[in-house]
Amino acid sequence: MSSYKDKKVITIGIVNELTGLSVRMIRYYEERGLIFPERSERGTRKYSFADIELLLEIANKREEGVQTYEIKQDMLNEKKNSNVRDKLRRGQFNAHFNMRK
């Protein structure tokens, strides 16, 4: 079961109100591959609370002068490192309990 933070139910207008980011800026971050809203059957973008937190992080980094390309690279590296950590944890678990694939 997913957390309420991950449910994509918030419209772009509400995201705009909550973050202070313009609708255009939110769409720009989507175009740059930094945020991935879902679309309703009628094409309306839907965001989650986790997306809002991410948008605020992105906006803070942009204010510090970090380029969107660098932010995307950091996000990709973080995801890759997270996958490696997960594999290591599974490996440690399997080794501890003498389990093999």
| Domain annotation for the chain: domains and CATH numbers | 4-96 (1.10.1660.10)
pLDDT reported for residue 30: 96
User: Under the phi-then-psi rule, with left for phi > 0, alpha for psi from -120 to 50, and beta for the rest, what region is 22?
Assistant: beta
Show the low-confidence residues of the chain (pLDDT under 70): 1, 84-86, 88, 91-101
Element counts in the chain: helices (H) and strands (E) = 4, 3
Q: Which residues fall within 8 angstroms of residue 25, CB to CB, at 6 or more apart?
A: 59
pLDDT reported for residue 95: 60
pLDDT reported for residue 91: 67
pLDDT reported for residue 58: 97
pLDDT reported for residue 28: 97
Helices (H), the chain: 12-19, 23-31, 49-63, 68-96
pTM, two decimals, is 0.76
